[in-house]
């Protein structure tokens, strides 16, 4: 039994989608990828670790770990793989329960790890997609001095990225010969290298597996990430709850719309003056991994940032209002388009043709009108006002569209 527990931002989404898309090929080699979809593994880990957020019904989570375990025990092949990065900071009681319930299967723990110079910027931009209002400079200060920081951002990051501590925690239950660290290759390396290393751990032939799209869980550019942070700040001020808006803000606005701007925006980078500190931390992590006796697939030197990659790039604090406004305009229009497509899909799937008397709202008829209206609002009330009023206008338009789609014909 192979438990791939993370760390976050270390190619986990790439591996999960690759495994999910190739479950039949895995089964042909004797490996089970359990659950109907990967979401079943998410539910199982929620159940195991008592994580019960608002966005999943309790019925989906209750008993999900045991259902996954039962499926694994019933498997007639030689092994199974579960991949869920929330396990990386599992508490000791949850670790013990996972091992005990999977017995008599021999459990191996797999940790994928990437250097901090890449993970720290990736983690901050991901936070902006999860309702965080923490600025870039405050985030960096908290990461460097987590115990003295007033915010828990730094403590959370180290809880998920301190590979030595993670291995020591799991190593209290799992022997060193069944602990594995897969290092993420340097930037620019073919993603297949990471897959080949992972496949070697679970004992299968890596050839012939179809790969997921390159855009899997793409990061935001620096302008879009700062835009998300400011939207979060305004949302907090206006009482907009994450429970009500998180799915549309993250999964639609950020993941589907703003990620399309990535190639046109500068990427966020660790400040050049922090590289010596990041290199020191990378060396510490590599040494601690070696001391645990875990098997290493790759090269521990890859956990140490390369000083040749250090550069001074634009920071979120340097993003201008005009850059934010451009991203906001594109984002809101793109959001209307995405919502329109979802409404049309819902109509196609759930609504009989006789129930609609008018064609649904089309993005092409509103794009220029929305842009001009937002520009006028921006000139009158500033960027924050434009964003807020633009959001209300878009929400009104979507609701009006939905009423037209669902209104029965007379």
Q: Is 109 helix (H, G, I), strand (E, B) or coil?
A: strand
Furthest-apart CA atoms within the chain: distance in Å: 75
What pLDDT is stored for residue 55 in this prediction?
Answer: 53
Indicate where the chain has its CATH 3.40.50.300 domain(s).
2-117+152-216+269-309
Per-residue model confidence as pLDDT tens digits over 122-141: 999 999 999 999 999 999 99
Instruction: Evaluate if residue 53 carries a pLDDT over 90.
Output: no
What pLDDT is stored for residue 56 in this prediction?
Answer: 53
Instruction: Evaluate if residue 148 carries a pLDDT over 60.
Output: yes
Per-residue model confidence as pLDDT tens digits over 69-101: 999 999 999 999 999 999 999 999 999 999 999
Instruction: Evaluate if residue 367 carries a pLDDT over 60.
Output: no
What pLDDT is stored for residue 351 in this prediction?
Answer: 39
What pLDDT is stored for residue 405 in this prediction?
Answer: 42
pLDDT band at 390 (very low <50, low <70, confident <90, very high): low
Task: Return the residue matching tokens 């979060």.
Answer: 232
7 preceded by cis ω (within 30°)?
yes
pLDDT band at 357 (very low <50, low <70, confident <90, very high): very low
What pLDDT is stored for residue 354 in this prediction?
Answer: 36
Helix axes 367-406, 321-350, angle to 10 degrees: 30
Burial of 194 (0-12, 13-18, 19+ CB in 10 A): buried
- 166 versus 395: which is more confidently predicted? 166
Q: Is 208 helix (H, G, I), strand (E, B) or coil?
A: coil
Task: Return the residue matching tokens 């803000």.
Answer: 249
Per-residue model confidence as pLDDT tens digits over 288-308: 999 999 999 999 999 999 999
Per-residue model confidence as pLDDT tens digits over 237-294: 998 887 767 788 998 999 999 999 999 999 999 999 999 999 999 999 999 999 999 9
Instruction: Evaluate if residue 375 carries a pLDDT over 60.
Output: no
Average pLDDT of 350-374?
Answer: 40
- 23 versus 394: which is more confidently predicted? 23
The span from the CA of 134 to the CA of 63, in Å, is 36
What pLDDT is stored for residue 50 in this prediction?
Answer: 87
Report the range of poorest mean pLDDT among 141-145, 146-150, 242-246, 361-365: 361-365
- Which residues are CB-contacts of 16 (< 8 A; sequence separation ≥ 6)? 38, 83
- Which residues are CB-contacts of 190 (< 8 A; sequence separation ≥ 6)? none
Tokens of 51: 């994580």
The span from the CA of 117 to the CA of 94, in Å, is 30
- Which residues are CB-contacts of 243 (< 8 A; sequence separation ≥ 6)? 54, 55
Strand partners of residue 108: 2
Tokens of 253: 């606005």
pLDDT band at 346 (very low <50, low <70, confident <90, very high): confident
Instruction: Evaluate if residue 179 carries a pLDDT over 70.
Output: yes
pTM given for the model: 0.82
Burial of 248 (0-12, 13-18, 19+ CB in 10 A): middle
What pLDDT is stored for residue 210 in this prediction?
Answer: 77
Instruction: Evaluate if residue 168 carries a pLDDT over 50.
Output: yes
Query: CA-CA distances (angstroms) from residue 45 to 6, 96, 127, 161, 213?
Result: 13, 13, 21, 19, 25
Instruction: Single out the residue of 194, 112, 185, 126 nearest to residue 157, CA to CA.
Output: 126
- 140 versus 403: which is more confidently predicted? 140
pLDDT band at 385 (very low <50, low <70, confident <90, very high): low
pLDDT band at 342 (very low <50, low <70, confident <90, very high): confident
What pLDDT is stored for residue 1 in this prediction?
Answer: 98
The span from the CA of 290 to the CA of 288, in Å, is 5
Q: Is 75 helix (H, G, I), strand (E, B) or coil?
A: coil
Report the range of poorest mean pLDDT among 23-27, 157-161, 180-184, 384-388: 384-388
189 preceded by cis ω (within 30°)?
no
* For the chain, percent of residues with pLDDT exceeding 70: 82
Q: Which helix (H) or strand (E) holds 144?
A: helix 136-144
The span from the CA of 116 to the CA of 10, in Å, is 10
What pLDDT is stored for residue 358 in this prediction?
Answer: 34
- 385 versus 250: which is more confidently predicted? 250
Protein fold of 2-117+152-216+269-309: Rossmann fold (3.40.50)
Q: What is the mean pLDDT of the chain?
A: 86
What pLDDT is stored for residue 218 in this prediction?
Answer: 79
- 356 versus 409: which is more confidently predicted? 409
* For the chain, percent of residues with pLDDT exceeding 90: 71
What pLDDT is stored for residue 381 in this prediction?
Answer: 52
Strand partners of residue 165: none
The gap from C-alpha 365 to its chain's centroid, in whole angstroms, comes to 34
């Amino acid at each position: 039994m192979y438990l791939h527990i993370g760390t976050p931002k270390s190619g986990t989404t790439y591996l999960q989608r690759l495994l999910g898309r190739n479950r039949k090929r895995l089964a042909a080699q004797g490996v089970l990828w359990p659950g109907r979809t990967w979401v079943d593994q998410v539910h199982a880990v929620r159940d195991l670790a008592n994580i019960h957020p608002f966005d999943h019904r309790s019925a989906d989570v209750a008993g999900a770990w045991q259902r996954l375990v039962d499926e694994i025990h019933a498997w007639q092949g030689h092994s199974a793989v579960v991949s869920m990065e929330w396990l990386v900071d599992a508490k000791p009681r949850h670790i013990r329960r996972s091992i005990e319930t999977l017995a008599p299967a021999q459990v191996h723990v797999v940790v994928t790890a990437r250097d901090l110079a890449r993970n720290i910027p990736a983690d901050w931009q991901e936070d902006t997609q999860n309702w965080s209002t923490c600025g870039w400079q405050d985030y960096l200060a908290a990461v460097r001095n987590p115990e003295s920081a007033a915010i828990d951002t730094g403590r959370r990051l180290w809880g998920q990225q301190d590979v030595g501590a993670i291995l020591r925690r799991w190593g209290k239950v799992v022997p060193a010969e069944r602990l594995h660290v897969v290092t993420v290759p340097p930037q620019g390396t073919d993603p297949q290298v990471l897959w080949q290393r992972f496949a070697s751990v679970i004992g299968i032939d890596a050839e012939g597996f179809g790969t997921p799209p390159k855009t899997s869980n793409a990061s935001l550019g620096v302008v879009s990430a700062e835009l998300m942070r400011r939207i979060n700040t305004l949302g907090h001020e206006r009482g907009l709850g994450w429970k009500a808006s998180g799915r549309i803000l993250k999964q639609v606005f950020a993941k589907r719309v703003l990620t399309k701007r990535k190639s046109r925006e500068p990427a966020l980078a660790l400040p050049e003056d922090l590289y010596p500190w990041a290199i020191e931390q990378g060396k510490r992590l590599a040494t601690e991994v070696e001391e645990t006796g875990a098997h290493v697939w790759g090269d521990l030197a890859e956990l140490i940032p390369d000083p040749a990659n250090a550069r001074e790039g634009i920071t979120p604090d340097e993003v201008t209002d005009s850059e934010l406004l451009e991203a906001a305009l594109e984002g809101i229009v793109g959001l209307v388009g995405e919502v329109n497509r979802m409404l049309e899909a819902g109509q196609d799937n759930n609504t009989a043709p006789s129930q609609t008397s008018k064609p649904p709202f089309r993005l092409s008829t509103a794009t220029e009108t929305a842009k001009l209206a937002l520009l006028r609002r921006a000139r009158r009330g500033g960027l924050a006002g434009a964003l807020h009023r633009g959001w209300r206008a878009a929400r009104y338009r979507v609701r009006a569209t939905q009423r037209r789609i669902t209104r029965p014909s007379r």
